[in-house]
Structure 1
């Protein structure tokens, strides 16, 4: 998976979609060009949020309320608690499904601090055979029906000098037509997996499998313009389909038949 994606829904919309308490503290701006180290929305479980939302008078005698889903912000690029410099997070935006359970940096978060990363879709670049350096075609992978995606994620807290929540997206081997764009893709979680993924009492290794072919078949592979290559660009135009005509009159890169 490349290091760019889009997340454009408001905090109110995401809170409703994920049945989560809104703890973002500031309005979420639509971001069509999320890049490493950006602040991104995540959904995680929080016992503190559950306690704050508990009816007055519920104390220790009533038992602790169960953890609640909370929508908050995290810096994209996990910084392990033992790191001495937060800049390490820029190299840790993704965690491989094959090693996340054993990695020194990721395993503690995978075991106890899993999260959902809301997304509209993600970007990859393909360089047509024989094309000049830099002449890569950008693609936006997004649900054809416009539904919300949830990437499997993990989070951690780095506490120097002040607590900062950071996160990573888990990636897996790409399947089907998506493998023609890139050999990796984010691990996508259908809604029926959300609760188990967030629950630290559930063994996460059993959930490190991509969704079925029907789900993946609903992902559109959309050619988009080159403006997304510049992290300073933002706006709905970045995700608009561009018609590219190859030698065979098919959609594809310049001088090339369609990959799809």
Structure 2
């Protein structure tokens, strides 16, 4: 899944990568969480023939997808992710997959390795980033929810797929990444139906990402500084070096030796 990510790119970098005319200035964000505003890229109304105006624009939406047919969002589950394997058939996402595909700029995402209960292992947070650095684009969907009083809220979800070998030891899911050369095809909901872009809903190459162990400070949304991405020694290796009595206290398990 994708439950936290970061975007630390400058507006100039976004303008260049996504071919935008303008993007509002915004602070670096190191711990973006569900329900918060996120930056997305959408296909705008195409410019007149011969015009040099770009056909993409940036906007802010709420991270947490709400289908248009929902009457009361407070009683509806928070949909931050959509499974790529079923997104074209699910009632919640079917219309958006056909008509409102988006890109979600990111510098990387956080994932947690959560071992089975009773295993004695500790959870470990990872900062997952492109090996070569730079900005990436998650595949996403957008929906505008309208209330009875006429107010509107733009919402979005990030698509996920089965993890590749680089991430599988941490979690079995990961975000779908759209490469720059496919931005136009993914955003083109006029001529490209879901079946035409299904080939894009695959894990990135094995060497695309690297996973850096980080501290559990990222667990708290209130923590939002660059130190969240500082590499730490994995918890498992630290515990392994401790005397047996300390390890028992740490994991709550008794030892027979």
| Structures share fold, TM-score greater than 0.5 | yes
Which residue does 1:30 correspond to in 2? 28
Q: Is the CA contact 1:137–1:253 (under 8 Å) kept in the aligned structure 2?
A: no
CA positional deviation for 1:158: 1.2
Tell me, yes or no, if structure 1 residue 165 matches structure 2 residue 154. yes
Q: Which residue of 1 aligns with 2:138?
A: 151
2:86 matched to which residue of 1? 99
**Greater mean deviation of Cα atoms: 12-21 or 202-211:** 202-211
TM-score, structure 2 as length reference: 0.82
CA distances 1:120-179 after superposition (whole Å, capped 9, x unpaired): 1111111357336xx411001101211211100010111224222111000001111211
Q: Which runs of 5+ in 1 are unaligned?
A: 55-61, 247-251
Matches within 5 A, 1:1-260: 1-22=1-22, 24=24, 27-47=25-45, 50=46, 68-87=55-74, 91-128=78-115, 130-131=119-120, 135-160=122-147, 161-200=150-189, 201-205=191-195, 206-211=198-203, 213=205, 216-244=206-234, 252=237, 254-255=239-240
TM-score by length of 1: 0.81
Cα RMSD for the two superposed structures: 2.6
C-alpha distance in 2 between matches for 1:127 and 1:253: 16
Mapped to 1, the partners of 2:164 and 2:132 lie a distance apart of 20
Runs of at least 5 residues in structure 2 that lack an aligned partner in the other structure: 242-257
Deviation of 1:211 (Å): 4.9
Q: Distance in 1 between matches of 2:173 and 2:160?
A: 6
